[in-house]
Amino acid sequence: MKQPFPFYKSVKAKSAAIFFVAFVVVIVPTNLIIYFQLEKILLNADTTELTSEIEKIISKTQLDPLVVPLPPVGYSLSLRLKRNDFTEIIFQSPNFPALANMGDEISSFQLDNLSVVTSHQPVGAVTLVATLARSNANLQKQLIELRTYLFLANLGALFLAGLLVFLASKIVIKPITKIIDAAEKIQASNSIDRVPVPKSNDESKLLADTLNGMIARIESSIKNQINFFASATHELKTPLAIMQTELAVALGQSLQSDTRKILESQLTEVQRLGRIIEDFLLISQLKSQTLTLRKSNERLEEPLYNAVKKLKYLATEKQSVVKIQMDDDIPLVNVDCDKIETVFTNLLENALRYSPAQSFSIAI
């Protein structure tokens, strides 16, 4: 079955789109929260490490005489003594960065590519202020890797989950697809096939049961129509046959010209009604699939002559001449004689009624 609508309007595409929106609305904010929590944990771990190092340095520092332990490789140290509002630098590493927050009470902060921790240790009447700085390149690298991993993980999860949703929706709507395929093959008749009912107890089963119920009602209505059609045609055949016989008998008597024309016209119409009823009966048999063909090996001239005979009054009325030419060696044909006669009659009647020609030749 060719899909009559664009792919993006299908249930599969809509399911994948709904999942994508749900993923963006729910999963992405959740992952952002996770990232910020991990970032906070990593920053705290970095600060804790710096704090531990600065506490070691402070514990080994002496003011009188002045003894300052060297910081580890990669660290920069600044020691200051604070008396009231006066601050004196007693030691500072050569590569110690210029910090704007040196005098603030901030204990730790991140500045560009540096991690900085400050500790205040009271020593008698003064306060020893120690500031330890270290490059946070490794920390930033870890954060970048974390962001990359989360992005790739989300992208991969989105693709895989979207694919699974697409395949799952395809499986879910498979029973509906079968119902659609079966419904496309249904033809109006007195015996209509039912759509398959899925085994799953869900909306697709309810849809199939509903369609089958509707088909049963349509089938019953068609049967009633066909039965009425067949009964009506059978009931009409008897009075028309009587009228045709009476008109034929009346025409066999000596009548005035005007009366004969009227009777001939009436006989033509009665015969035409009889053929229409035969056609109606044939149609009802076709619709009800009860048409029976009684085939036998016959020559075509007999049903053709009978058809011309039925239409002789119409040919006289139209002032037309029907000529039949047949070869002597026409082979026998396996046909239903009555049905082929009906076909010949209908074809010839249409030719006589709607063609301007005055002469018709039939060659077989």
Please give the single-letter amino acid code of residue 198. P
- 114-123 sheet: strands from edge to edge: 86-92, 75-83, 126-135, 114-123, 108-111
For tokens 């992952």, what's the residue? 31
* CA distance readout (Å), 35 to 22, 46, 140, 147: 19, 16, 13, 7
**Token reading at 336:** 């239903």
d(CA 238, CA 249): 17
Is there a contact between 38 and 144 (Cβ–Cβ < 8 Å)? no
**Token reading at 360:** 């018709």
Residue 241: partners with Cβ closer than 8 Å, 6 or more residues away? 274
| Phi, psi at 172, each rounded to 5° | -65, -40
Q: Which fold has domain 189-291?
A: Helix Hairpins (1.10.287)
Q: The domain 294-364: what is its CATH number? A: 3.30.565.10
**Quick one: CA dihedral 346, 348, 349, 351, positive or negative?**
positive
Note the pLDDT of residue 218: 82
Is residue 356 reached through a cis peptide bond, with omega within 30 degrees of 0 on the bond before it? no
Domains of the chain, by residue range, sit at 65-137, 189-291, 294-364
Q: Which stretches of 252-311 are DSSP H helices? A: 257-287, 301-310
d(CA 201, CA 42): 52
Note the pLDDT of residue 319: 73
* CA distance readout (Å), 133 to 32, 92, 141, 299: 29, 11, 18, 116
Mean pLDDT by 10 residues, the chain (364 residues): 63 77 83 90 89 88 84 87 82 80 63 84 83 87 89 86 79 79 71 78 81 84 75 78 82 76 80 77 67 73 77 73 72 76 78 68 59
